[in-house]
């Protein structure tokens, strides 16, 4: 059995108690995770703060460490894939993609370390100030606390840790308690790549204890959080005036207009709705399809799904594996059943075997059903016909969230109108709401959060700007 220990004060140490980690498909115990005590959380933040202040790093060395980490991860891909299949229940395909993206995230973070710069301020623009120079510089904040979710246990962690280190900060990481093993391996990888052991700490344990102690700790200057809106709001209130980056919940929509390429679009939507068993914040949850192509589109979704395998995530052919917990599987199955009882029709999927929910396509849904008005975070897509684009955009905007949206159309005017009017952090034209590469600015509006991920943008958030002015005596 694998033991996920804590990394505190530059050493691997035992916690005050241990919890069993289960394989997400078989349910068998596969590991033990050590839970940190309150004192260990305090030691972790203090230790990282002392190293960060006492042994400052220089940008090119940070680049070298992160580039080496990226290369090591590429070499260790099979090991990381295997860990995530068990730790998160990801299929081999999903785990492989997450490792490939993390290789990029670490490398881009390293590259951005070399490009941290300020700007020249035109002081001469003010009357009487000719001859005085002004420029800004960017400085690390100190300690970044990273609190991360279960559904991207490697890449989301890298999106916090990579930019934080690239910016010259130290990091205390509290990963999701459902996926501790992946985070532990990432910390080992960074140390193998040459990271100063004093610059990182890893504390495992429940959000309500270890997470909460980290929020109450006075040392972190920045909280990088991805997770639910509920916990994000709580974090924001608790940490007071300290800076945060909050990547929160979503109900993401994608629109398919009458002039979209039906089969190609359906294949993209199937991937975007069901990868990671739908446990992706930008997953296509609501699919608005123009009524002229509705029947063909639903057939294409069904055809596409009929070729996909469901079940054991360790089988390289499997497309949809288990969701993260029995509790989540119960909730999702319940929402399918309640939608069906309320008049929705199941045109694909709908069945469940333990934690595996078949990829499910619902039609005849109404806006008040849970599958439409709450975040599903599971393998369900609800299809709604539309006629009038304006009314549909209003419906898309009618949730408290605003993370991402997609629209498929050959009409550039229609696409631009939609992009201007849909209030989200990103709109993808001829792509789904779930389109993402790791260098782009990524984040939501409304209750989907604030602040941006993407190494260049995160580094801006994780540094502070200083203005320096200079003139002759």
Nearer to ligand NDP, 239 or 305 (CB): 239
The DSSP result for 404-451, as a single string, is: EEEEE-S-HHHHHHHHHHS-SSEEEETS-TT---TTS-B--EETTEES
Tokens of 34: 């050590």
Q: Which residue is catalytic, options 98, 112, 184, 247?
A: 247
State how far the Cα of 238 lies from the Cα of 234, in Å rounded to an integer: 6
Name which of 238, 330, 267, 293 is nearest 410 in CA terms. Answer: 293
Using CB under 6 A as the binding rule, whether residue 391 contacts ligand NDP is answered as: no
Could you tell me the smallest distance in angstroms from the CB atom of residue 459 to ligand NDP? 17
Nearer to ligand NDP, 150 or 457 (CB): 150
404-408 and 253-256: which strand pairing? parallel
Backbone angles phi, psi at 134, to 5 degrees: -140, 135
Nearer to ligand NDP, 225 or 408 (CB): 225
Identify whether 75 is a catalytic site residue: no
Size of site (CB under 6 A) for ligand NDP: 34
Could you tell me the smallest distance in angstroms from the CB atom of residue 210 to ligand NDP? 7
Among 17, 208, 351, 387, binds ligand NDP (CB under 6 A): 208
253-256 and 29-35: which strand pairing? unpaired
Using CB under 6 A as the binding rule, whether residue 404 contacts ligand NDP is answered as: no
Among 38, 139, 234, 414, binds ligand NDP (CB under 6 A): 234
Identify whether 281 is a catalytic site residue: yes
Part in contact with ligand NDP (CB under 6 A); list of ranges 173-181, 255-263, 362-370, 415-423: 173-181
Name which of 410, 445, 451, 439 is nearest 427 in CA terms. Answer: 445
Among 108, 147, 202, 277, binds ligand NDP (CB under 6 A): 147
Among 36, 176, 277, 372, binds ligand NDP (CB under 6 A): 176
- State the chain's maximal CA–CA distance in angstroms: 81
Part in contact with ligand NDP (CB under 6 A); list of ranges 63-71, 74-82, 143-151, 287-295: 143-151
Could you tell me the smallest distance in angstroms from the CB atom of residue 333 to ligand NDP? 18
Using CB under 6 A as the binding rule, whether residue 444 contacts ligand NDP is answered as: yes
- 443 and 452 Cβ atoms separated by less than 8 Å: yes
Inter-residue long-range contacts of 156-159, CB under 8 Å, 24+ positions, other chains counted: 156/226, 156/247, 157/182, 157/183, 157/186, 158/102, 158/105, 158/106, 158/109, 158/186, 159/105, 159/226, 159/438, 159/453, 159/454, 159/455, 159/458
Among 7, 25, 90, 150, binds ligand NDP (CB under 6 A): 150
Nearer to ligand NDP, 134 or 163 (CB): 163
Part in contact with ligand NDP (CB under 6 A); list of ranges 22-30, 200-208, 265-273, 341-349: 200-208
Using CB under 6 A as the binding rule, whether residue 215 contacts ligand NDP is answered as: yes
Residue with tokens 């940490």: 239
State how far the Cα of 289 lies from the Cα of 291, in Å rounded to an integer: 6
Using CB under 6 A as the binding rule, whether residue 281 contacts ligand NDP is answered as: yes
State how far the Cα of 347 lies from the Cα of 271, in Å rounded to an integer: 17
Which residue's CB comes closest to ligand NDP?
Answer: 207
Burial label for 20, CB within 10 Å (0-12, 13-18, 19+), is exposed
Residues of this chain that interact with ligand NDP (CB under 6 A) are 147-152, 174-178, 206-208, 211-212, 215, 226-228, 231, 234-235, 247-250, 281, 375, 377, 403, 444, 448-449
What residues act catalytically?
Answer: 247, 281
């Amino acid at each position: 059995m694998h033991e996920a220990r804590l990394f505190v004060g530059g050493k691997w140490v035992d916690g005050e108690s241990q919890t069993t980690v289960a394989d997400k498909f078989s349910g068998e115990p596969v590991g033990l995770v050590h839970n940190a005590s309150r004192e260990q959380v305090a030691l972790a933040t203090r230790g990282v703060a002392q190293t960060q202040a006492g042994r400052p790093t220089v940008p090119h060395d940070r680049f070298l460490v992160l580039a080496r980490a990226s290369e090591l991860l590429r070499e260790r891909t099979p090991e990381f894939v295997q860990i995530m299949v068990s730790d998160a229940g990801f299929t081999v395909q999903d785990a492989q993609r997450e490792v490939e993206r993390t290789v990029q995230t670490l490398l881009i973070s390293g590259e951005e370390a070399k490009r941290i710069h300020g700007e020249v301020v035109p002081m001469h623009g003010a009357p009487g100030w000719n001859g005085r120079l002004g420029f800004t510089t960017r400085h690390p904040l100190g300690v970044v606390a990273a609190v991360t979710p279960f559904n991207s246990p490697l890449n989301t962690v890298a999106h916090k840790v990579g930019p934080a280190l690239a910016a010259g900060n130290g990091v205390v990481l509290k990963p999701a308690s459902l996926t501790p093993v992946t985070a532990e391996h990432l910390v080992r990888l960074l140390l193998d790549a040459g990271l100063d052991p004093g610059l990182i700490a890893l504390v495992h344990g429940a959000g309500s204890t270890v997470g909460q102690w980290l929020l109450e700790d006075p040392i972190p200057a920045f909280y990088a959080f991805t997770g639910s809106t509920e916990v994000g709001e709580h974090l924001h209130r608790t940490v007071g005036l300290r800076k945060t980056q909050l990547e929160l919940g979503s109900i993401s929509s994608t629109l398919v207009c009458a002039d979209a390429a039906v089969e190609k679009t359906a294949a993209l939507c199937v991937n975007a709705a069901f990868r990671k068993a739908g446990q992706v914040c930008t997953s296509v949850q609501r699919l608005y399809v123009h009524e002229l192509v509705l029947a063909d589109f639903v057939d294409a979704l069904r055809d596409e799904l009929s070729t996909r395998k469901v079940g054991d995530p360790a089988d390289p052919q499997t497309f949809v594996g288990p969701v993260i917990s029995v509790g989540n599987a119960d909730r999702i199955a319940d929402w399918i059943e309640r939608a069906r009882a309320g008049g929705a029709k199941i045109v694909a999927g709908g069945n469940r075997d333990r934690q595996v929910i078949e990829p499910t396509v619902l039609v005849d849904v109404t806006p008040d059903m849970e599958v439409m008005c709450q975040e599903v975070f599971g393998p369900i897509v609800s299809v709604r016909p539309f006629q009038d684009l304006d009314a549909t955009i209003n419906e898309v905007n009618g949730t408290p969230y605003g993370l991402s949206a997609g629209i498929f159309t050959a009409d550039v005017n229609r696409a631009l109108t939609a992009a201007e009017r849909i209030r989200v952090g990103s709109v993808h034209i001829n792509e789904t709401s779930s389109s993402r590469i790791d260098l782009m600015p990524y984040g939501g509006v409304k209750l989907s959060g604030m602040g941006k991920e993407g190494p260049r943008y995160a580094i801006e958030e994780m540094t502070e700007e200083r203005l320096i002015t200079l003139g002759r005596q």
